[in-house]
Amino acid sequence: MRLSQMLFVTLREDPAEAEIPSHKLLLRAGYIRRIGSGIYTYLPLMWRVLKKVSQIVREEMDATLAQECLLPQLQPAELWQESGRWDTYTKAEGIMFSLIDRAERQLGLGPTHEEVITTIAKDMIRSYRQLPLNLYQIQTKFRDEIRPRFGLMRGREFIMKDAYSFHTDEASLKQTYQDMDRAYRNILTRCGLAFRPVEADSGAIGGSGSQEFMVLADAGEDEILYTEDGKYAANVEKADSLPADLETSPFTGYEKLETPDTETIEKLCKFLKCSPTNIVKNVLYETVYDNGMTVLVLVSIRGDRDVNEVKLQNELVKLAPQYNAQTIIALTVPDATSQQKWAAKPLPLGYIAPNLDDDYIAHSKNVAPKFIRIADKTIVELTNFVTGSNESGYHVVGANWDKEFILPKLIVDVRTAQTGDRSLHDPKQILQSARGIEAGHIFQLGTKYSQAMGATYTDEAGQEQPLWMGCYGIGVSRLAQAAVEQSYDKNGIIWSVAIAPYQVIVVIPNTSSQEQVTAAEKLYQDLNQAGIETLLDDRDGRAGMKFKDADLIGIPYRIVTGRSLAQGKVEVVTRASGESQELPIDAVVSTVQQWIREEIGN
């Protein structure tokens, strides 16, 4: 491709809309343009990168014997009503765009395809002889994200590869899950990314085990906790650890003490000269179930620990049937305004005890009359502890379960693991923290969707059984931007050879020199003929500007037909290392071919 003929506009300044380096660089280098919130055009250079990433994904999927197909993006509401997800996805969470056709039928734009694929499986899979089966597609997904941001990282329209597998039993599902794990590692390695597979929360998708593939980058939205020995890594949303050891309480008898201005744990410890591990902290949450019911939640946890809201949310979803609901749509720490909606009297904030009375909740049709009381596991073994007194300015000390307070019946793990904690698998290993971008997520779904939608097969004994399912997603467009986030310098993007839009750029420093033009044209032709994807910068203009643009767009090898032509040579610069060397013109094609082969291994 000739740059003079390409739709190619670079920006000198950082665009105001971009916050992180990869977003700035993709805009500045003319890879993407914003059309609306979370909606981007993939310009010619970007589209080449996306096709390369897709092709790597496709090859690795095909290697696992998964079969490519293309499912509809327009999905009838009935499918989602059958699985029970329509209301949650269109109203409660509101992640799905929905629309009405001319015949007044409701449809959604696919944010994911469990419903469509399960319908196909239900129609077409009859017998165990057809199993296992794994189908995948590479397609644009639509999600009305609450906060679209960072360019392609969190778009409202983005490219995803999603795969869905069907099995007779769990063992077969686990086998395919392993194969997909390996395929994902291969994909990320081939794209030249540093990454870490981590244990993950399965969230609203449901099912048992799941794993995320995190591209390591400081701008990543996710926190990963891992151990040095490589045996443990998890998303902080999911991570477990051993909490720090308890310190012995300095209090031996129960009493109520005046503790002015101690609404934080830090101030309280200082005032009482005790350890945060001696304190039972009581945190108030407000949750709204998908039928509109508001329920107040009181979580009691050890003073040195924080509540993990993802774990808490999972526990609250389990309680949904008690409130005739399916899931929750909001979980917040109630502020003054929301307290007004349900509080019968002012709350002793900062001084709440585990036995805060239910009569703080005013009678109302849409508010549950009693608190959900949850004990984090860390508080069970506390003795002579400190906690609130339900009266502002006072705490109690020397308290014990079964004496002054009743331990809540619901005892679960809702604690956030953090750096410095000891690992469960080996207490000598200490958790460390890193940031990552979630590029992929693989799930063992089990029979959740097949049971809801009646997708069954007939086993060898002639019995009808629900299909076992797995699903596997990888964000093609997010991954491409993540590669930039991991690899750039002050001059621009540094693509790996495997996913660069072009492998080589030939730059003519001075287009009025016939000698330079002729040499460049010949090289351009020879390189392309040898199957090397080559750009030719044949634009008029200063050499400095062309070198800057070449660095900005990040093409792995730059060939310059400049001064050394006199000796029958050209300059070749490697973008990643900045190394420059002169090569005889007739050696260029074979040398570059050799370098590319070494980089992408074929």
Rounded Cα distance, 455 and 212, in Å: 27
How far is the C-alpha of 54 from the C-alpha of 72, rounded, in Å?
19
Which of 114, 438, 537, 549 is the binder for ligand ATP (CB under 6 A)? 438
Residue with tokens 């931007």: 481
Residue 517 to residue 526: CA distance in whole angstroms = 14
- Tokens standing for residue 595: 């370098």
185/522 with CB nearer ligand ATP: 185
Peptide bond into 111 cis (omega under 30): no
Give the interface segment with ligand ATP, choosing from 155-163, 319-327, 395-403, 419-427 (CB under 6 A). Answer: 155-163
Interface with ligand ATP includes 158 (CB under 6 A)? Answer: yes
d(CA 450, CA 174): 17
Tell me the residue type at 151: G
Count of residues engaged in binding ligand ATP, rule: CB under 6 A: 16
Binding mask 110-129 for ligand ATP (x = CB under 6 A): --x-----------------
Which of residues 112 and 389 has its CB atom nearest to ligand ATP in the complex? Answer: 112
Name which position in 30, 110, 132, 155 contacts ligand ATP (CB under 6 A).
155
Nearer to ligand ATP, 37 or 581 (CB): 37
Q: Is 401 helix (H, G, I), strand (E, B) or coil?
A: strand
Q: Please state whether 30 falls in left (phi above 0), alpha (psi between -120 and 50) or beta.
A: left
Task: Show contacts with ligand ATP in window 497-526 (CB under 6 A).
Answer: none
**Closer Cβ to ligand ATP, 297 or 439, answer by number:** 439
Q: Identify which of residues 204 and 284 has a Cβ nearer to ligand ATP in the complex.
A: 204
Cβ closer to ligand ATP: 52 or 281? 52
* DSSP-derived secondary structure for 66-97: -EE----SEEEHHHHHHHT-HHIIIIIS--S-
Nearest to 284 by CA among 359, 216, 205, 374: 374
Residue 441 contacts ligand ATP per CB under 6 A? yes
Q: Which of 113, 143, 167, 311 binds ligand ATP (CB under 6 A)?
A: 143
3-state secondary structure of 596: helix
The first and second tokens of residue 337, run together, are: 């305004």
Q: How far is the CB of 475 from ligand ATP (least distance, A)?
A: 2
Binding segment for ligand ATP (CB under 6 A), chosen from 53-61, 152-160, 453-461, 592-600, is 152-160
Cβ-closest position to ligand ATP: 475
309 binds ligand ATP (CB under 6 A): no
| The one segment of 4-12, 258-266, 361-369, 471-479 that binds ligand ATP by CB under 6 A | 471-479
* 3-state helix vs strand vs coil in the chain, percent to 5: 30, 30, 40
Contact range with ligand ATP by CB under 6 A, out of 329-337, 415-423, 439-447, 502-510: 439-447
String of b and e for 570-590 (b: at least 16 CB within 10 Å)? bbbbebbeeeeeebebeebbe
Q: Shortest Cβ distance from residue 204 to ligand ATP (Å)? A: 9
Taking alpha carbons only, the member of 501, 523, 504, 528 closest to residue 592 is: 504
Interface pick for ligand ATP out of 478, 539, 546, 569 (rule CB under 6 A)? 478
H helix or E strand, kind and range, residue 302:
strand 294-302
Cα radius of gyration rounded to whole Å, the chain: 29
The least distance separating ligand ATP from the CB of residue 145, rounded to whole angstroms, comes to 5
**What mask, x for binding ligand ATP by CB under 6 A, covers residues 383 to 422?**
----------------------------------------
Candidates 150-158, 302-310, 396-404, 580-588; binding stretch for ligand ATP (CB under 6 A): 150-158
Spatial separation of the C-alpha atoms in residues 328 and 315, rounded to whole Å: 10
Which lies closer to ligand ATP via its Cβ, residue 149 or residue 377?
149
The residue within the footprint of ligand ATP, chosen from 439, 494, 559, 588 (CB under 6 A), is 439
In the list 18, 117, 160, 352, the residue contacting ligand ATP (rule: CB under 6 A) is: 160
Q: Pick from 14, 145, 358, 533: which binds ligand ATP (CB under 6 A)? A: 145
Whichever of 356 and 471 has its CB closer to ligand ATP, that residue is 471
Strand partners, 399: 385
Residue 213's identity, in one-letter code, is F
Nearest approach, Cβ of residue 155 and ligand ATP (Å): 4
Give CA separation, 59 vs 52, 162, 183, 480, in Å: 11, 14, 9, 17
Within 8 A by CB and 6+ apart from 350, the residues are: 262, 263, 264, 388, 392
Among 52, 154, 395, 415, binds ligand ATP (CB under 6 A): 154
Q: Count the Cβ atoms, other than its own, within 10 Å of residue 275.
A: 19
In this complex, which beta carbon is closest to ligand ATP, that of residue 160 or of residue 187? 160
Sole binder of ligand ATP in the list 440, 470, 492, 556 (CB under 6 A): 440
Nearer to ligand ATP, 157 or 551 (CB): 157
Choices 63-71, 154-162, 165-173, 230-238; region in contact with ligand ATP by CB under 6 A = 154-162
The angle formed by the CA atoms of residues 204, 239 and 298, to the nearest 5 degrees, is 70
Asked if 473 is part of the footprint of ligand ATP (rule: CB under 6 A), the reply reads yes
Q: Which residues bind ligand ATP (CB under 6 A)?
A: 112, 143, 145, 154-155, 158, 160, 438-441, 473-475, 477-478
